[in-house]
């Protein structure tokens, strides 16, 4: 949640955050929906042992797509394990920040429609181990005065434009045809579903005056005439476009599949080969290996020296670890970069195998060869299919 309130209200799998509901997307929770906030609000300072994701090629690809070197690190989603006291309280404050969206709620008992900040609806989330029970409720509902207070659910209409802006639907202005209400500056509204099977048949009425209007008038061709211009709102950042927006917004229903499109980049990360493992062990035990007078003594050393027995657990094609190879191997700055050396067979230790295929250049400028292991490459796997993917909606 945004602001000072930080406590879990639900959960999502990492793949869900990457492909279905990333930054700027709406996530449907059991009792309301939330908008994933921008990366500026993601906090890792409460996680003691978090580490950035070290993938230089992926980072370069991200910088190339965004067109600026402003991205310094790749980070995992903030998360802290803890299901029992006292860790559970600390863990409940760490997660992907979200904000309730749409900010208009409807009482499920009396259909009253009001924004969250109007004070009409209350919020409860008092069970640390049951974030899925977090909910808004109508405390002074005229339809239900005893028992559990009725649930307030998200009003299901939002506005979006093709410049990637997402905004609440202007219910009060819409129902009053952009004129002031006789009952005051903040009129009380009601949203009622009239049913039927031909599109949406939802009517918004004003409790303080006779104004009423069907949501059908905000959709399709009529919507272009009846809706105001886009306000340029980036709801996931809490900002408005400084120069406004000239696009005409359209009504979307919360949960529509065309609200948000993922833009994904991927990098091929090749793990260390056994040659790299062997080189590490040779370096580790070099003090013992260097005392052997000749290569022929190595089987004896393995049989009699406990330190050298560890070399038996490394499967190699040469059977003879080569100290110079380990020393000359260029150290890489990443943990995923493979060691670019072919392990020579015994008797040809000083010759490297020639690569039979010509070198090619990967999109990130690194040289690839046909020799295994390959250099990891980076390639955009999908592109944004809609301009709105930039900031989510």
Chain residues binding Zn ion by CB under 5 A are: 107, 109-110, 138, 141, 161, 163, 165, 181, 187, 206, 208-209, 211, 230, 245, 247
Task: Output 163 or 265, the one with its CB closest to Zn ion.
Answer: 163
Extract long-range pairs of 73-81: CB within 8 Å, 24+ residues apart. 75/42, 75/44, 75/50, 76/14, 76/50, 77/14, 77/17, 77/42, 78/42, 78/43, 78/44, 78/46, 78/47, 78/50, 79/47, 80/46, 80/47
CB of 182 to Zn ion, least distance (A): 6
CA distances from 213 to 174, 226, 246 (A): 8, 11, 26
CB of 241 to Zn ion, least distance (A): 7
Q: What is the C-alpha to C-alpha distance for residues 387 and 165, in angstroms, rounded to an integer?
A: 10
CB of 199 to Zn ion, least distance (A): 24
Task: Output 76 or 208, the one with its CB closest to Zn ion.
Answer: 208
CB of 376 to Zn ion, least distance (A): 39
CA distances from 102 to 22, 63, 92 (A): 17, 32, 23
One-character DSSP codes across 5-54: ---------HHHHHHTS-TT-EEE-SSSEEEEPPGGG---TT-TT---B-
How does DSSP classify residue 328?
Answer: H
Task: Output 206 or 289, the one with its CB closest to Zn ion.
Answer: 206
CB of 227 to Zn ion, least distance (A): 12
Which ranges in 274-374 belong to alpha helices (H)?
274-284, 286-289, 298-304, 306-309, 323-328
CB of 256 to Zn ion, least distance (A): 17
Q: What is the C-alpha to C-alpha distance for residues 317 and 334, in angstroms, rounded to an integer?
A: 26
Residues 6 or more apart whose CB falls under 8 angstroms from that of 92 comprise 7, 8, 82, 128, 131
CB of 98 to Zn ion, least distance (A): 22
- Is the CB of residue 188 less than 8 Å from the CB of residue 208? yes
Task: Output 26 or 161, the one with its CB closest to Zn ion.
Answer: 161
Task: Output 141 or 267, the one with its CB closest to Zn ion.
Answer: 141
**Of 26, 4, 5, 22, nearest in space to 13 by CA:** 22
Task: Output 245 or 343, the one with its CB closest to Zn ion.
Answer: 245
CB of 179 to Zn ion, least distance (A): 9
Task: Output 189 or 219, the one with its CB closest to Zn ion.
Answer: 189
Q: Which two tokens stand for residue 236?
A: 């996931």
Structure-token match 């009601």, residue found: 190
Task: Output 46 or 208, the one with its CB closest to Zn ion.
Answer: 208
Task: Output 143 or 327, the one with its CB closest to Zn ion.
Answer: 143
CB of 265 to Zn ion, least distance (A): 26
């Amino acid at each position: 949640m945004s602001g000072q309130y930080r406590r879990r209200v639900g959960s999502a799998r990492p793949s869900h955050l990457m492909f279905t509901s990333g930054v700027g997307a709406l996530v449907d929770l059991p009792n309301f929906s939330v908008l994933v906030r921008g990366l500026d609000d993601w906090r890792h300072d409460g996680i003691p042992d978090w580490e950035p994701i070290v993938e230089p090629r992926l980072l370069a690809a991200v910088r190339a797509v965004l067109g600026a070197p402003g991205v310094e690190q790749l980070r995992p989603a903030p998360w802290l394990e803890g299901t029992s006291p006292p860790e559970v309280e600390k863990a409940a404050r760490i997660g992907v920040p979200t904000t309730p969206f749409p900010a208009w709620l409807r009482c499920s008992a009396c259909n009253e429609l009001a924004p969250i900040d109007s004070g009409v609806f209350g919020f409860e989330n008092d069970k640390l181990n049951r974030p899925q029970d977090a909910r808004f409720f109508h405390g002074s509902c005229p339809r239900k005065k005893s028992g559990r207070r009725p649930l307030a659910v998200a009003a299901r209409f939002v506005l979006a434009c093709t410049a990637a802006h997402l905004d609440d639907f202007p219910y009060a202005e819409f129902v009053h045809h952009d004129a002031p209400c006789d009952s005051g500056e903040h009129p009380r509204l009601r949203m009622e579903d009239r049913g039927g099977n031909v599109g949406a048949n939802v009517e918004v009425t004003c409790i303080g005056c006779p104004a009423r209007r069907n949501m059908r008038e905000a959709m399709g061709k009529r919507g272009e005439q009846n809706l105001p211009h886009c306000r340029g709102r980036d709801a996931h950042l809490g900002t408005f476009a400084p120069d406004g927006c000239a696009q005409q917004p359209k009504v979307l229903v919360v949960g529509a599949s065309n609200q948000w499109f993922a833009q994904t980049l991927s990098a091929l990360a090749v793990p260390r080969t056994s040659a790299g493992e062997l080189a590490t062990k040779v370096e580790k035990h070099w003090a013992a290996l260097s005392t052997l007078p000749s290569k022929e003594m190595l089987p004896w050393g393995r049989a009699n020296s406990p330190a050298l027995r560890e070399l038996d657990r490394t499967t190699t094609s040469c059977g003879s670890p080569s100290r110079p190879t380990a020393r000359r191997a260029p150290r890489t700055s990443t943990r995923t970069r493979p060691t670019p050396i072919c392990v020579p067979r015994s008797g040809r230790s000083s010759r490297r195998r020639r690569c039979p295929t010509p070198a090619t250049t990967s999109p990130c400028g690194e040289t690839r060869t046909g020799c295994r292991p390959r250099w990891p490459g980076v390639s955009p796997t999908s592109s944004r299919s809609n301009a709105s993917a930039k900031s989510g909606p």
